[in-house]
Structure 1
Amino acid sequence: MARILLLILLLLPVARPALPETPVDDQARLFQELSEKFKRLETELSNLRSEKEKLEDLKSKLDAQDVRINAQDKWISNFGLFLAQGANNIAASSNAISSASNATSWIVGIGAILLTAGLFGVGLYSVIKVPEQSRLAAERTIKDYLSSADAKRDFHSSVEKLFGPEILAIQAVAKRGDRLSTSPSSEPPQPLSPETEQALQKVLAMPEEERDTVQWRALIYSYSDTKRFEAALALADKWLTLSTLTPLQTASALWVRGNVLLDAGRLQEAIAAYDAVIQRFGSDPDPALREQVARALVNKGYALGLLATPQTKAAIAAYDDVIQRFGSDPTPALREVVARAFVNKGVALGKLTPPQPEAEIAAYDDVIQRFGTDPAPALREQVTRALVNKGVALGQLTPPQPEAQIAAYDELIQRFGADPAPALREQVARAFVNKGVALGKLTPPQPEAQIAAYDDVIQRFGTDPTPALREQVARAFVNKGYALGQLTPPQPEAEITAYDDVIQRFGSDPAPALREQVARAFVNKGVALGQLTPPQPEAEIAAYDDVIQRFGTDPAPALREQVSMALHYKAIILKDLNRFADARTVCEDYIHRFADAPETAIQEMTKKVRSLLSNLPPPEPSADS
């Protein structure tokens, strides 16, 4: 026992220096270095975020390479988790070092050193293992999150915080112009906000070689949207002359040039621009270029259908090219283009001579079957368009199938009726209106159910300022008025009220589609006034005069038809009132306006007016002066 005590006393001076000072100071310096490294990594992470502002082709990559962007965001998220975990380990190690420094017992000191070494090992383990653990955890979290309804909203919110309102304004203009053509737009160009104008001025002041693809597109479309097509084309040509363009930038510039030419009505030149994209990049495997080629094919098909002599078969061939090349590609952006190609192909099949409604319906069914359960908003929109168009095509069959039409519209309403997306709301409104029309074609007709369908449109969308929805609301009012006149007994007073609603709500709207509905409301109101008890012929004539005065010089075919009807009906009323001279004047006015009209409906009306004129009593000879 004495020997053991003596040995301890001899070793004590050797053991005591092993207390905290030197080894723990070394550990502290090591951890200080690690802390500084983590700070540098945090700085690099911040730089990575700021560098995202400078990425070339930002918009193209956001649209065409969703998978790459998701991967980058996932990496940054994982890296942030790694930094946070590493910082926690450093903090824990520092606390242990502090405890060891305050130890008064050499045994406690040794224990602290061992604990510190253990914690240091944990820290090193974190450096090695935490990224992998964070990656796996982040992947699970992100996978769950991306399947949620909030993902897109939160993504755009994060983008806004990261990039700022100016860049978002530029992106909005670029995206508005970078559309896939589906149908002519009746909406006037939307004015740019002051913030957007300011952002575009900054882009205009930049050196040309420093502008990215999104900025070029936004600048060009800002001119095209305001009908300054020559200036827009000059910018597109200038963009194409830059020596630093990548293949994707070249394809984008050609695509934009084609869109400007399409808007300008220079269809052959637009087709040539789209062909340039297809020929130069058609075999390139790059996903972003594949998307650009697919988009060029869709818009080429659309332009072919707009030619003075529509090339419908060539348009269908372009859409088939999209389907064959890209139909099995799982890329979200290409799936959207393929869905649009199917829908546009269906529309084109309905325009053949003779139409092919069966093939048209098959094209829409392809969209519904392939993409019907896809949650992507762009694909949901195409599915709703396919359902609406399928319903219309079912009504073109011989014989028509109104029950199947109603089923298609009901499917759309049930599946998408509560969706707040503007594009889907428009299709839901169209489904309600078209359902009302189909209900009137049943045997026997169901005017009460028709009126209920139209009331659904008015109640759901009546206050929506969106031009497309305003058009559907106007159609619902006009059709509701007509259905009220088909009730047993008819309700001409309620019918007139519905037409007055159209006139009051939309009478001053310059949109062509709404002008057509207002003209129809005036004509139908005139007819209803003649069915009152007693009839009101003077008020009826006043309604027809409103049509003639408001729309008499408008070249739009739909409005010309309403003006021709107003003149015809006015002549009939004047004849019934024995105002033969006035009736003759109106008939002659009609013939002067429409004798050579190419529209079939107006030609049929002209025959009736000529017959009416020939049956009027001859004009009385004028008295000798």
Structure 2
Amino acid sequence: MPDADGATPPVSPEEEAKALMDRARLLIRAGQVLEVIPLCDTVYRRHTASRVPALQLQVARALGHRGAALSEEGKAVEALIHFDEVERRFWSPRKPALWEGVAWAMVYRTSLLMEQDRPQQALQCVGEVLRRFGSSEPPPGGLRNAVGVARLLLPNVYNQLEEHEEALRLSEALLEACDGDPEPLKVDMASGALLQRAHALQGLGHWEEALECFDTVDVRYCEDPDPRMRSVVSAALLGRALVLIKQELVPEALSALNAVLEHAGPHPYPRQRPMVDFAQFQREVFERQLEEERELAARQKAKRRT
């Protein structure tokens, strides 16, 4: 706000660095990582030698966010180096002012380990996040959001481990705690918990319940413009399609695959792209299959006439 003389007061280094890192986090959430690394490099270059806790926190966030961006680009080894540096430089149980940066780096590491199909290590990492930071409800802010994401990653990890009963228990506990709460973090947690509940039910062979749960995600959140929520809905639509494919319900599966493509639209967000590519490929497979079945039926009909 302008001061009494009409001039805009200068922004402090702490405020400027925080604003840059808040933007980087939003870009990561949207899967739009090309702008993230320059933002992180700016903060790191300016403040890496600072002894001010508020600036040290932003340096820790810069390293973690940069690692997350590298992970999105497939540079897993470089990403892990960044997460290690956050841990080495900034973790201390006696420095709670820096916990947010450490927690996010550990959350990003967990996600990367899951992408690398290393669920046991991911479980250890997310468990350590919750042990360090989740024993009590953190105050509103970045640390609380990181802990919330960690709690949501836990049933996801158990689904990847194929321990679906535990994933179901955890996702239902999250739903009980968050469902219906309009706070943005709780909405994120509820939507993700619904998705993991559906995957757990699918893994347990409860097909109809899984389909209902995937449908609930779609109905509740299909109009939400937030990039993360759009990717959650895409995952639910694809999950529905996979259940129908497993049940060999080809026309229904084809319709579900079309729903994935329709929801993503002509310009999908980066995190929707793998689901869109899979849906397009699988749709082409089913369309060829249906065309071959139609041609076979036509030949058989013609043969009977002769």
The two structures have a TM-score, normalised by structure 1, of 0.39
Write out per-residue CA displacement over residues 464-496 of structure 1, whole angstroms, 9 at most, x where no aligned residue: 522358x5xxxxxxxxxxxxxxxxxxxxxxxxx
Per the alignment, residue 8 of structure 2 pairs with 50
Check conservation: 2:234, 2:264, Cα contact below 8 A. no
Per the alignment, residue 134 of structure 2 pairs with 324
Say whether residues 1:370 and 2:177 are aligned partners. yes
- The correspondence for 1:405, drawn from 205, 210, 227, is 210
Per the alignment, residue 337 of structure 1 pairs with 146
Alignment CA distance shift 1:172-1:375 (3 Å): same
Per the alignment, residue 276 of structure 1 pairs with 88
- In the TM superposition, what are the counterparts of 1:47-196 in structure 2 within 5 Å? 50-51=8-9, 53-58=10-15, 174-176=24-26, 179=28
CA distance in 2, matches of 1:218, 1:50: 29
- In the TM superposition, what are the counterparts of 1:569-580 in structure 2 within 5 Å? none
- In the TM superposition, what are the counterparts of 1:295-444 in structure 2 within 5 Å? 295-305=104-114, 311-321=121-131, 324-325=134-135, 327-352=136-161, 355-397=162-204, 400-438=205-243
Query: How far 1:258 moved relative to its partner?
Result: 3.8
Letter paired with 1:467? Y
Per the alignment, residue 294 of structure 2 pairs with 532
Q: Secondary structure at the match of 1:283?
A: coil
Q: CA RMSD in A?
A: 4.1
Letter paired with 1:533? E
CA distance in 2, matches of 1:241, 1:320: 27
Per the alignment, residue 219 of structure 1 pairs with 38
Check conservation: 1:339, 1:382, Cα contact below 8 A. yes
Query: How far 1:331 moved relative to its partner?
Result: 1.3
CA distance in 2, matches of 1:238, 1:43: 29
- In the TM superposition, what are the counterparts of 1:497-516 in structure 2 within 5 Å? 514-516=276-278
Query: How far 1:391 moved relative to its partner?
Result: 0.3
Work out the number of aligned pairs and report it.
292
CA distance in 1, matches of 2:165, 2:21: 40
Letter paired with 1:50? T
Say whether residues 1:250 and 2:56 are aligned partners. yes
Query: How far 1:385 moved relative to its partner?
Result: 1.8
Check conservation: 2:201, 2:209, Cα contact below 8 A. yes
CA distance in 1, matches of 2:190, 2:216: 11
Write out per-residue CA displacement over residues 148-191 of structure 1, whole angstroms, 9 at most, x where no aligned residue: xxxxxxxxxxxxxxxxxxxxxx67853445x47xxxx9x6855x
User: Any unmatched runs of 5+ in structure 1?
Assistant: 1-41, 63-169, 193-216, 222-231, 472-510, 537-625
Alignment CA distance shift 1:188-1:417 (3 Å): closer
Query: How far 1:518 moved relative to its partner?
Result: 4.3
Alignment CA distance shift 1:456-1:271 (3 Å): closer
Alignment CA distance shift 1:462-1:451 (3 Å): same
CA distance in 2, matches of 1:517, 1:255: 35
Check conservation: 1:274, 1:296, Cα contact below 8 A. yes
Write out per-residue CA displacement over residues 248-302 of structure 1, whole angstroms, 9 at most, x where no aligned residue: 212321332244345132254233123135524x43344xx34333323322433
Check conservation: 1:298, 1:322, Cα contact below 8 A. no
Higher relative contact order (CA 8 A, sep 6+): 2
Letter paired with 1:412? V
CA distance in 1, matches of 2:118, 2:241: 34
Query: How far 1:401 moved relative to its partner?
Result: 0.7
Q: Secondary structure at the match of 2:134?
A: helix
CA distance in 2, matches of 1:241, 1:318: 26
CA distance in 2, matches of 1:43, 1:320: 42
CA distance in 2, matches of 1:238, 1:410: 47
Check conservation: 1:322, 1:338, Cα contact below 8 A. no
CA distance in 2, matches of 1:236, 1:58: 11
CA distance in 2, matches of 1:409, 1:307: 25
Per the alignment, residue 467 of structure 1 pairs with 269
Query: How far 1:527 moved relative to its partner?
Result: 3.5
